[in-house]
Amino acid sequence: MRLSVASPFLKEPHLAFARAAAEVGPRLPTESPYVLADGRRAVQLMAEAGLYAALEKVEALAICAIREELASFSGLADSVFAVQGLGSYPIALGGSDALKRELLPAAAKGERVFAFALTEPEAGSDAANVRTTARRVGDTYVLDGRKRFISNSGIANHYTVFARINESQRHISAFVVDAGTPGFTVGPQTELLAPHPLAELTFEECVVPASRRLGDEGQGLKLALATLDLFRATVGAAAVGMGKRAVKEALAHAQSREQFGAPLFDLQGVQFLISESVMELDAARLLVHHAASVKDGGARVTYEAAVAKLFATEAAQRVIDRSLQVHGGSGVCKGAAVERLYREIRALRIYEGASDVQKLVIARELAKSM
């Protein structure tokens, strides 16, 4: 069934990753009360499928191809996969050679799980306002503070944590903190609209070796923003995947459900809803792949990634809403695929920069170019 235009950006290596993700997709956990067990199971299945190798190559187009397929099956698995990249990429950018040798091969094989700990109660979109501190003591740093809404919490072996150096300074550094480090606590799981591993982190006199600092002191925010620049467009790919699944569900329902003596699909209004959805997804996919292609070419993609994420996530929300409307009452029943997608898509318009933040980024980048 044709549901999209062919992307001129995807080549055979990217398509191979997409096929592997599509093959493992039906076996991925979606959601249950056992979110930590589901998260670990998703890691195992994706590692067996070789998907984490795309993170080692750091190819945005490959990551987009994978996320579109994963998200069409399981928002939980897509999130776990993406955060593996968010947590490990700063190590690739700023870790010592020894730290890279220790952690990155294990990340690429899915043998170790990573998390990205930037957000705090007082620092969401304003990432520079983090209040967790890192105090230098000899060859160590002592971390104190709290992190909030940290994905992969509870299943991660390593957390990339961003903290200010001393109370009075706004210079942010990044550190790799291992699960089980004394003074580091992972709180209970936060209940979400669409469950995935997420919790609050607490640091109380948590001692971290200076060798696990990423980059020089004060380079943490630069590492965080570079990481988000890479992965922001891939959020749009996940949104396209969710929208694509929603359209498939709507088509199947409209063609099998009879109303007024004919398939629901024969109603012009239903055809319009589905046509508008496919059109928006095609446009979103091309914007996402363009941003990823520019990134893979080595250029800065702050503007392109913001445009791609904003358009794709907002479009996918509309697409899924239309698809649920086609289902009528059955679409709001717990357990329906479109009902799950309706809950899953909402977070994508918030994390890694909410839609309103993307509008600010776009406007500021335009102003710079004038």
| Tens digits of residue pLDDT in 341-353 | 999 999 999 999 9
Cβ–Cβ < 8 Å for 225, 162: no
Give the side-chain half-sphere CA count within 13 A for 141: 26
How many angstroms separate the CA atoms of 244 and 316, rounded? 8
Higher pLDDT, 70 or 254: 70
Q: Is the pLDDT of residue 367 over 60?
A: yes
Instruction: Let me know: does 39 contact 8? Beta carbons within 8 Å.
Output: no
- CA 370 to CA 356: how far, in whole Å? 22
Characterize the bridge pairing of strands 262-263 and 258-259.
antiparallel
- Rounded to the nearest 5 percent, the helix, strand and coil shares of the chain are 60, 15, 25
222-369 maps to CATH 1.20.140.10: yes
Q: Given pLDDT bands bounded at 50, 70 and 90, which one contains residue 266?
A: confident
Neighbouring residues of 187: CB distance < 8 A, sequence distance ≥ 6: 153, 199, 200, 201, 202
Tell me which of 246 and 255 has the higher pLDDT. 246
Is pLDDT of 5 > 60? no
According to CATH, the superfamily of the domain at 114-218 is Butyryl-CoA Dehydrogenase, subunit A, domain 2 (2.40.110.10)
pLDDT score at 4: 56
pLDDT tens-digit map of 67-105: 999 999 999 999 999 999 999 999 999 999 999 999 999
Report phi then psi at 211, rounded to 5. Answer: -65, -15
Would you list the DSSP string of 197-247? SEEEEEEEEEEEEGGGEESSTT-HHHHHHHHHHHHHHHHHHHHHHHHHHHH
What average pLDDT does this structure show over 122-141?
A: 90
- The type of residue at 137 is V
Multiple choice CATH, 12-109, 1.10.540.10, 3.90.1150.10, 3.40.50.1110, 1.10.10.60: 1.10.540.10
pLDDT for 1: 42
Tokens of 280: 């928006």
- Beta-strand relationship, 140-151 and 133-137: antiparallel
266 or 285: which carries more pLDDT confidence? 285
Structure tokens at 346: 């909402």
Q: How confident is the model at residue 56 (pLDDT cuts 50, 70, 90)?
A: confident
Q: Which residue in 155, 118, 72 sits closest to 323, CA to CA?
A: 72
What is the rounded average pLDDT of the residues 124-143? 91
Going by pLDDT thresholds of 50, 70 and 90, the confidence category of residue 168 is low
**Cα–Cα–Cα angle for 198, 79, 26, nearest 5°?**
120
Residue 297 is predicted with a pLDDT of 94
Rounded to an integer, the average pLDDT of 229-250 is 96
The span from the CA of 258 to the CA of 39, in Å, is: 39
Is the pLDDT at 3 greater than 70? The verdict is no
Catalytic residue list? 352
Other beta carbons within 10 angstroms of residue 297's beta carbon come to: 9
- Map tokens 């699944």 to a residue: 245
Residue 166's pLDDT band (cuts 50, 70, 90): confident
Nearest-10 Cα torsion for 277, 281, 284, 289? -170
Tell me phi and psi for residue 356, to 5 degrees: -65, -35
Q: What's the mean per-residue pLDDT of the chain?
A: 93
Q: φ and ψ at 131, to 5 degrees?
A: -115, -10
- Give percent of the chain with pLDDT exceeding 70: 98
Residue 2 confidence (pLDDT) above 80: no
The domain segmentation of the chain, as residue ranges, is 12-109, 114-218, 222-369
Structure confidence by residue, pLDDT tens digits, 7-49: 889 999 999 999 999 999 999 999 888 999 999 999 999 999 9
Task: Identify the band that residue 257 occupies on the pLDDT scale cut at 50, 70 and 90.
Answer: confident
Q: Is the pLDDT of residue 202 over 60?
A: yes
Residue 235 has pLDDT above 50, yes or no: yes
| Cα distance between residue 278 and residue 187, in whole Å | 41
Q: Whole-angstrom Cα distance, residue 103 to residue 99?
A: 6
What is the pLDDT at residue 61? 96
Nearest to 47 by CA among 8, 68, 77, 73: 77
**Whole-number Å distance between alpha carbons of 8 and 65:** 13
DSSP code per residue over 99-114: HHHHHHHHHHHTSS-E
pLDDT at 362 over 80: yes
**CA 355-4-283 angle, 5° bins:** 35
